[in-house]
């Protein structure tokens, strides 16, 4: 029960984050818990998340661990869904889109010469 809560709503990973400011060995615990599928998005009984705790402590190492976990999680999500997304994109019919940019200013006469004006 890696995501089991105590009577205050804390999970083991939240407790490790709260204690990380006292001892950096808790950062190793957080890495261990992430490797064993701990959910880093849960909040404690007061509504605080791992990110809130890291920011509150101004703990850059904890923030780096959380960002690495979030990045890995996002990459796994993209990899899992990439095939389905490409299949859906293949079904989208071709379309035509025209964007016309014009910038005209009476206040600054030279603005129209340097501002973008093009049709794609």
pLDDT value, residue 95: 84
CA nearest to 73, candidates 28, 26, 41? 41
pLDDT value, residue 23: 86
CB 8 within 8 Å of CB 45: yes
pLDDT value, residue 120: 46
pLDDT value, residue 101: 67
CB 3 within 8 Å of CB 42: yes
pLDDT value, residue 98: 84
pLDDT value, residue 22: 86
pLDDT value, residue 110: 62
pLDDT value, residue 100: 74
Distance CA 98, CA 108 (A): 27
Domain locations in the chain as residue ranges: 12-114
Q: pLDDT of the chain along its 120 residues, tens only?
A: 899 999 999 999 999 999 998 888 899 999 999 999 999 999 999 999 999 999 999 999 999 999 999 999 999 999 999 999 999 999 999 888 887 766 666 666 665 566 655 544
pLDDT value, residue 42: 93
């Amino acid at each position: 029960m890696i995501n089991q809560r105590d009577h205050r709503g804390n999970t083991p990973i939240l407790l490790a984050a709260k204690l990380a400011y006292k001892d950096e060995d808790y950062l190793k615990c957080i890495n261990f818990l992430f490797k064993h599928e701990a959910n880093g998005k849960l909040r404690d009984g007061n509504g605080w998340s791992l990110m809130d705790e890291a920011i509150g402590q101004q703990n850059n190492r904890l923030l780096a661990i959380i960002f690495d976990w979030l990045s890995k999680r996002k990459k796994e999500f993209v990899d899992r869904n990439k095939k389905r997304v490409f299949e859906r994109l293949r079904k989208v019919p071709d379309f035509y889109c025209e964007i016309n940019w014009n910038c005209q200013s009476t206040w600054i006469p030279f603005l129209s010469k340097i501002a973008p004006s093009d049709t794609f």
